[in-house]
Chain A
Amino acid sequence: MPQASFDTTPADPLKIHPEDLPDIQGFIVHGYNMPKSRHFVFTIGQVGAALDFLGALTSGSGALSITSAERWPGSVKPEYALNIGLTARGLEALKLPANVSINPGNFGSFLGGAVAAAKTVGDTGPNDPDHWVTKLNRANADLVHVLLSLYTNTAEDRESYSAQLRAMFAPVIPPAGAPGSDVMEWDVDPEIITDPVTGEKYRQIHFGYTDGISNPIIDEVGLAPVRPNQLPYVPAWQFVTRYGSPPTYVPPTYNMPMPLPFGQNGTFSAFRILEQNVPAFEAFLSADGRDEAAQEFLASKLCGRWRNANPVVFRPLEAGPRLPDYKLSYFDYGTDSVGEPCPYSAHTRRTNSRGGPLVVPLGDKVDHRIMRRADAYGPPYTGVDDSQPRGLAGHFMGVMLADQFEFVMSQWVNSGTFPGGTAEAGIDPLLGNVPDGSSFTYWESGRPVTVEGLSRFVTTKGGLYCFLPSITAIKWMAQNGGASNPWTVPLLPS
């Protein structure tokens, strides 16, 4: 059978070009905003079937195909979008040729897997992988191979496309009763709210905050110039694997996964399932006899935004009408070094210091960014503690997991010594691994105000690290997998 040629040209490390879009998986570059999604995690039991599956996903011969970043004609959403990720053990299971190289120094986090990285990112105690959902937990980590993320517009479409997808991968998974035969399916159903005044649609998470704001924008040919106070566009190589330009090939700050058809135009992702304890959150807000205005004020300090998304930097005392979308992300913290009006420990400041007085003033605005494609799961909270699991699930993407996702989680979200005057700033109350008996401090009129009784609001229930390969890479793997002397996950130096 004639082999397809994979004569791959190195792409621009700094910007995405229009001709790149058909090769990159769509959700890396653009959020789909499709409200009914489902994530499937399964084990590769049959290599030949797995390679056929990868081929079918990219040849057009399968019922569903992988969605690229090519823009939709007329911006009309298709009935489904589908993307695929493979863990290190998943790549190993495909028996790729031995000339595959994934540098352990750059991609050790991916190669070791999410369970091995648990301590780094704060998945300890109640967050420990021993307590994760069965398919992803510590005992089963080596059997986590493939993640499929299916996005649809309606619940009916989600069911019908899921059925077709299950039929496609049924031959791939181990037979019933064999290790890894179970398939995890995780539904994500963000609540879409329409602003009654502007008519703008936005997504809400269970704590009541607006979600999906202020993702990094990957630099792309044809983008408008950066507006005042807008964070710079992020160079393409931080979100899409790129080789670098001669003569020094620096940036990017990694050695490209090789060979080029396999390594280019992909990225890495931390898929996370984060259970949110809304009753505990609401109880914290309403303690000490706080009235509704005081509860909203405290909620704004926990997040750095009011629940309608207005940054506290623009609206320190009350939410006010929702600002237009473009203003929601165009701010930084100026010369504030106390944490007023936005506390250092507020979630949005903990996850992005926006070039604040710590670490590489320019680089910090560009480095350590994460592309978030995660949404609410579980039924909306109606004020009654119904013991239903609910939370946030999805992808946290970036080529250098160690320098992006893991850095933010370990050095900022879960680090209590983040700068902010001489008072200990505290860890991110909305995302961090909050120990019992914690407190939350914000600053008002130059004085700290400490609120006791901060408890854990978020518990990690699952995680995996995956490679999101390009369309070319998926075809390459389909054609070159099943090698007799295959690539294996390298032993990582301790």
Chain B
Amino acid sequence: MATTPVQTPLTALIPIKAEFVDELRDKLKNNAIDPSGLDAVGTVHFASIFVFEPNNPSGVPSNLAAVITVYDGDFAAYIQDFVNQASVAEFFNGFLMVVDDPAAAGLVPVQKNAAAFAKLVQKYDNTNPANVPWGQFYSAYPKLTVQNILHPSS
């Protein structure tokens, strides 16, 4: 029987206000988040963040920002550590101002509202088993956390 992976996927597709979509799309093409902030948290395996292109071949609406990540541990528990990184907070404070959700702007500054920010992201997560059963997640190394990989025992 396969081992339940220690990693968890997150695939959040978040609506962006029409007047800000193009600006955000361009911003995300230029490494908007300093990777050292993600290094510091130490639980994120991979992360992609982009806004869908207009007329993309998949027909996905182009006002959607995608946050696609694989991480260790409990998303909500680590969110405070995540937004405590200055560069991460700076990015998401700007991001929240352009999200097309009535709750978003009120979460700025995100450092003070980390738990509510996590809930907002998880609301738009299409691969959160707490929402609905969604499909299959495969891991080639189900027992290895980021820290296990970066600091092997041997």
- List chain A positions with a Cβ less than 8 A from chain B: 105-106, 108, 248-255, 337-338, 357-364, 367, 400, 402-403, 406-407, 410-411, 415, 417, 419-424, 493
Contacts and interface: CB of A to CB of B under 8 A. Distances in A.
Nearest to B107: A105
A417 B78 CA distance: 15
Contacts, number: 97
Given A251-B111, A402-B115, A410-B77, 5 more contacts: A105-B113, A250-B112, A253-B112, A360-B81, A417-B72
**Interface size range on B against A:** 20 to 34
Contact of B41 (A360, A406, A424): A360
A268 to B, nearest CB: 14
A420 B114 CA distance: 28
A421 B148 contact: yes
A493 B153 contact: no
Interface stretch (B24-32, B51-59, B62-70, B139-147): B139-147
Contacts of B116: 105
B112 A410 contact: no
Those 7 A-B pairs whose CB atoms lie nearest each other, nearest first: A421-B153, A419-B147, A337-B151, A105-B116, A105-B115, A250-B111, A417-B6
Contact of A423 (B6, B119, B151, B153): B153
A76 to B, nearest CB: 41
Contacts of A108: 115
Nearest to A419: B147
Contacts of B143: 417, 422, 424
Nearest to B118: A105
B84 interface: yes
B80 interface: yes
Nearest to A417: B6
Contacts of A493: 119
Interface in B70-97: 72-74, 77-78, 80-81, 83-85, 89
Interface in B11-52: 40-43
B71 to A, nearest CB: 12
A361 B40 contact: yes
A465 to B, nearest CB: 15
A337 B147 CA distance: 9
Interface in B103-136: 109, 111-116, 119
Nearest to B39: A361
A367 B81 CA distance: 8
Given A106-B115, A253-B111, A253-B112, A419 B145 contact: yes
B102 interface: no
B112 A421 contact: no
Contacts of A255: 112-113
A359 B43 contact: yes
Contacts of B144: 422
Interface centre among B72, B73, B80, by most chain A C-beta atoms within 10 angstroms, is: B80
Nearest to A400: B80
5 contacts: A253-B80, A253-B112, A357-B42, A360-B81, A419-B147
Contact of A417 (B83, B112, B145, B153): B145
A108 B116 CA distance: 10
Contacts of B111: 250-251, 253
Given A248-B109, A253-B111, A410-B74, A338 B153 contact: yes
Nearest to A366: B84
A424 B142 CA distance: 12
Contacts of B72: 417
B77 to A, nearest CB: 5
B1 interface: no
Given A106-B112, A417-B6, A424-B143, A360 B84 contact: yes
A251 B109 CA distance: 10
B153 A363 contact: no
A251 B6 CA distance: 32
Contact of B112 (A252, A337, A361, A415): A252
B150 interface: yes
A1 to B, nearest CB: 38
Nearest to A255: B112
Nearest to A109: B115
B153 A253 contact: no
Contacts of A407: 77
A486 B145 CA distance: 48
Contact of B153 (A337, A357, A359, A362): A337
A358 B147 contact: yes
Contacts of A358: 42-43, 147
Contact of B147 (A250, A254, A357, A403): A357
A411 B78 CA distance: 9
A181 B10 CA distance: 49
Interface centre among B73, B74, B78, by most chain A C-beta atoms within 10 angstroms, is: B73
Contacts of B115: 105-106, 108, 402
A403 B147 CA distance: 20
A422 B152 contact: yes
A342 B78 CA distance: 25
A407 B81 CA distance: 11
B112 to A, nearest CB: 5
